[in-house]
Amino acid sequence: MSTETTTIPAAIEEVQHLNPATGELTAVEAMAVQYANAAAAAQPFLDSMADIKAKLLEALPIGNHAAGPLIVTIKAGAKVLDTKKLEAAYPQAENPLFYKSAFDTTAVKKFVAPAVLEVYTRQNASSVVIK
């Protein structure tokens, strides 16, 4: 991505933070500052929402609850098997049918040339992190 300095059209100036001396900035700088400001402004609200949810979870049983024009729904947590406990209780040596082998990509990387592996490589979606 380019970090060239860009002149922002007049219609967008109100959203951007321009350098008063030049009237220019990098688009990346402007977007990063705008994101950081929005994140800082949102955090108190996000904290408050989390606190409210925790209080509701503590105060209400599972189910739907009328709250004026709103409905508060408390859902039970999903039940999942504790695989570590199961593996301890049912070892593979005694219960081979409970286990399956998995493709070992580490071994493949040791024995297959990177150029060959490139054909089998996919790239996940890119992401943005602003600190």
| Structure-block tokens of residue 127 | 């992401």
**Of the candidates 36, 52, 64, which has an alpha carbon nearest to the alpha carbon of residue 128?**
36
Query: Who has greater pLDDT, 45 or 14?
Result: 45
Q: How high is the pLDDT of residue 57?
A: 93
pTM confidence score: 0.56
3-state secondary structure of 25: strand
pLDDT band of residue 17 (cuts 50, 70, 90) is: low
- The partner residues of 7 in beta bridges, in order of sequence, read 24
| pLDDT tens, position by position, 42-54 | 999 999 999 999 9
Burial class (CB in 10 A: 0-12, 13-18, 19+), 6: middle
DSSP 58-75: HHS-SEEEEETTEEEEEP
> What would the mean pLDDT of 55-61 be, rounded to a whole number?
94
Whole-number pLDDT of residue 27 = 77
